[in-house]
Amino acid sequence: MEKNKKRLFGMVAALLLVLFLLLLGFWAANRAHENKRHQDTLERVKKTKMIHWGVKTDTKLFGLVNTKSGQSEGFDVDLAKALTKQIGKQLGLELTPSFTPVNASSKVQLLKNTNIDGVMAVMTITKERAKVVDFSNPYFPAGNALLVRKDSGVQSIKDLNDPSKTILIALGTTAADTVKKEAPKAKVLALQDYASAMQALKAGQGQAIVTDNAILYGLVAENPDYQVVGGIMGYAPYGIAFDHNQPGMVKQANQALESLEKDGTYNTLIKKWFSQVPGLDLSQLEVQS
Amino acid sequence: MTLFNHYSALFFSGFGYTILASLIALVASLILGTFFALLQLSKKRFLAMLGNAYVQFLRNVPLLIITLFFYLAVAKVIKMTGFVSGTVALSLYTSAFIAESVRAGILAIDHGQMEGALANGLSYGQAMSRVVLPQAFKVALPSLGNQLINLVKNSSILAFVGGLDLMYQGNLVAASSFDTFTSYLVVGLFYLVLTLPLSYVMQYLEEHLQESR
Amino acid sequence: MTDFINALTQDNLSYLLQGLGITVAVSLLSIIISLILGSVVGIVMFEKIPYFSSLVGTLNNIVRNLPLLLIIFFSYFALPQIGIRLPVFWSTVVAMSFFEAAMLSEIIRGGLDAIDKGQFEGARSTGLSNRQTMTHIILPQAYKKMIPPLISQLISLVKDTSLASGVVLADLTFRGQVVYAQNSHFIVPVLIFMTFCYFIVNYLLSLLAKHLDRLLA
């Protein structure tokens, strides 16, 4: 009798657990569906009086953590602060910026998941990405370039169009497309971040790094044995990314960006960060009025 | 399901690299682990200390740090890919745990067996490799099995160093499809295909060995 | 050597040590939560309730056989897709507690199995209820036996928090990566320093385990 009771109890409990798990599954599927529904970023910003920006932690000149403050510092961060203030002015609100560290592979995920409102993290505007996020107007003129050892003899990416060559890129960047177009025969190795890519280049795991010119200049500043060759492959400027279908937020950001370019704030920030890069002509970056 | 069809080539290639890394690391860590277990049990105090230091050191440091060390520092001197540096780190890390299992196995074997074998004219090396070690492995089998499961799971560390494994490919799929939920579920299923059968075999062996004792 | 001095400036050093603090905080929180969860699951598996226990055991096995890295990524990147949005610190704690609870429940079930069956009968014959027997007689003994394996689990937790650097938790490992992003000459010194930190914390824990083992034996 006792045994039968226990058996019955076990069966009921097991059934309840299965039922619970099934319900959980349905709930999750439902929530996933609901969550794909539109959420207005601008409304959220107005309500919370904050703009959450995703910024880099390991990219010199754009977003590198200062270990004293624990905060990212760089052109992206300063521009995001200025934009937050400007957007606040436009909306007649006092907005506070907040910064969340992102890496190349997590930035769009976090945007989609609405952990952050905007991404200001050396992100190139591409058609492919524009299908899943909204971009502001370009905020920084960038393009892919090639970094090689000074004594390597490589003059352009065409020299690497060979199955015996490996080109290094960072995960989730546009470099993959550039390499596919310019050197389709070369092998490609995608690494977690630029520091790993630089390390891999030094270790001889590849013959070159392909990534944005501005980032390569940051690497050259630290590694004088290396140089940028072959010019810029395609103009591929950086943009601020927002979640998909956010015309309100994008309009505010574009308007704010234009104001900052007009009142000279933009050029001041360019000077602040890029005058330290050897071999970079600042007038290429500054906005001409 | 559509996600899986679309990206199945990536998933399967990652699965292959995960298996390859696990197999290489398994063989390497068994050899290294046995060697260091013997070193730990050596009568010479210096050798025993050396063995101990090796095991204690590797057991108390995260696998990721060891991997990064090979990937970022050692690879500067000896050129190797992310896959190789990850697999080397995985082998060393696992060898410390295997050394502990094998050592416990050897200690569990009756001391008399060694003496008996020696008395029969076998050398120390012969007695160890022919009499004691085979039995020690048998005793240590369940715990070695657990280490193998951990090894397969830990191979996901390769994702940090561009190691082309299942986790690495899963991240790529998640990043390009934006369906993170499904991508990671698929990755999870692939891992379970490897680890679940292993774990049931181990449970069976554990019960079986207990009975025969 | 100069790389060492340049890499470990006072600012960088205190930045890294704060990271160690986060590592320890995540580990402690996770071990406490997973101990509670793991006890419940462990007792269910030990009780061998028909159907229910084996179902729970199977689910538990599935969790145990997944890589922790996958669970950490899942909890940070995938859960928000069903509306569960946690800051990275808590998402890591959730992932680690979930995974560790599955590991601990096995240890707890093993600990309970190792206790003499006669004790149950003895305690019950003195008039204690089932639940009283469990909480007053059996569990304290089981926990005592389980302290050494628990500490070794805590050691793996401390090591495994390093995986959360992949979702940008500002732990010791992530902060190390930030410091050597300043200058690639810092890589080796920073890695050595991180190794040293993890080793000291874990080695002290393992000494504690040994000490307790001797004390309780």
Residues of C with CB under 8 A from a CB of B: 61-62, 64-70, 73-74, 77-78, 81-82, 155, 159-160, 162-163, 165-166, 173, 180, 187-188, 191, 194-195, 198-199, 202-203, 206
Nearest CA in chain C to B171: C73
Q: Write down the ipTM of this complex.
A: 0.89
pLDDT at C23 over 70: yes
Write out the two tokens for B156: 């996901």
The whole-number pLDDT of residue A142 equals 84
- Contact assignment for A171 to B171 by CB distance below 8 Å: yes
- Contact assignment for C61 to B199 by CB distance below 8 Å: yes
- Contact assignment for B82 to A203 by CB distance below 8 Å: no
Q: What's the CATH architecture for C4-216? A: Orthogonal Bundle (1.10)
Contact C69, C166 (CB under 8 A): yes
- Contact assignment for B195 to C65 by CB distance below 8 Å: yes
Residue B36 one-letter amino acid? F
CA-based nearest distance A255→chain C, Å: 31
Contacts of B196 (CB under 8 A, 6+ apart): C61, C62, C65
Question: pTM of the full predicted structure?
Answer: 0.84
Write out the two tokens for C31: 């071990």
pLDDT at B27 over 90: yes
Residues of chain A scoring pLDDT < 50: none
- Contact assignment for B82 to A32 by CB distance below 8 Å: no
User: In residues, how long is chain A?
Assistant: 289
- When pLDDT is averaged across residues B10-37 and rounded to a whole number, the result is 95
CA-based nearest distance C43→chain B, Å: 18
Q: Report d(CA A203, CA B70) in Å as an integer.
A: 11
Residue A135 one-letter amino acid? F
Q: Which residues of A touch B161 (CB under 8 A)?
A: 191-192, 196
Question: pLDDT by residue (tens digit) across A263-285?
Answer: 999 999 998 988 876 666 677 77
Q: Which residues of B touch A112 (CB under 8 A)?
A: 178
Query: Residue ranges per domain, chain C?
Result: 4-216
For residue A35, count other CB atoms closer than 10 A to its CB: 17
- CA distance between the termini of chain A: 92
Spell out the domains of chain B, with CATH numbers in brackets: 2-212 (1.10.3720.10)
Q: Report d(CA A273, CA A268) in Å as an integer.
A: 9
- CA distance between the termini of chain C: 46
Question: pLDDT by residue (tens digit) across B114-160?
Answer: 888 888 888 888 888 888 898 899 888 888 999 999 999 999 999 98
Among B80, B82, B171, the residue with its CB nearest the CB of A105 is: B171
Write out the two tokens for A20: 């619970």
Q: Report d(CA B90, CA B107) in Å as an integer.
A: 26
Contacts of A148 (CB under 8 A, 6+ apart): A154, A207, A208, A226, A227, A229
Confidence tier at B95 by pLDDT (50, 70, 90): very high
Chains that touch A (3 or more CB pairs under 8 A): B, C
Nearest CA to A122 out of A164, A61, A48 is that of A61
Q: Which residues of A touch C50 (CB under 8 A)?
A: 6-7, 10-11
- Contact assignment for B180 to C173 by CB distance below 8 Å: no
Question: Which of A173, A187, A188, A192 is the best residue to mutate to test the B interface, defined by the most B CB atoms within 10 Å of its own CB?
Answer: A192
Q: Which of A231-235, B30-34, C84-88 has the lowest mean pLDDT?
A: A231-235
Q: Report d(CA C177, CA C191) in Å as an integer.
A: 9
- Contact assignment for C83 to A9 by CB distance below 8 Å: no
State whether residue C212 is helix, strand or coil: helix
Cα atoms in the 13 Å half-sphere on the side-chain side of C8? 12
Q: Report d(CA B43, CA B144) in Å as an integer.
A: 25
Contacts of A104 (CB under 8 A, 6+ apart): A170, A171, A172, A173, A192, A193
Q: Strands A96-101, A50-55: parallel, antiparallel or unpaired by DSSP?
A: parallel
Question: pLDDT by residue (tens digit) across C54-65?
Answer: 999 999 999 999
Q: Which residues of B touch C173 (CB under 8 A)?
A: 62, 64-65
Write out the two tokens for B88: 């080397």
CA-based nearest distance A13→chain B, Å: 24
User: A153: burial class by Cβ within 10 Å (0-12, 13-18, 19+)?
Assistant: exposed
For residue B13, count other CB atoms closer than 10 A to its CB: 15
Question: Which of B10, B70, B74, B161 is the best residue to mutate to test the A interface, defined by the most A CB atoms within 10 Å of its own CB?
Answer: B161
Nearest CA to B51 out of B38, B66, B68 is that of B38
What's C176's DSSP letter? H
% of chain B at pLDDT higher than 90: 54
Is some CB atom of chain A closer than 8 A to the CB atom of B80?
yes
The whole-number pLDDT of residue C4 equals 80
CA-based nearest distance C10→chain A, Å: 9
Question: pLDDT by residue (tens digit) across C145-196?
Answer: 778 888 888 899 999 999 999 888 989 999 998 898 887 778 899 999 999 9
CA-based nearest distance A204→chain C, Å: 15
Q: Which residues of B touch C109 (CB under 8 A)?
A: none
Helix ranges (H only) for A36-151 are 41-48, 75-91, 107-112, 127-130
Is some CB atom of chain C closer than 8 A to the CB atom of A72?
no
The whole-number pLDDT of residue B212 equals 53
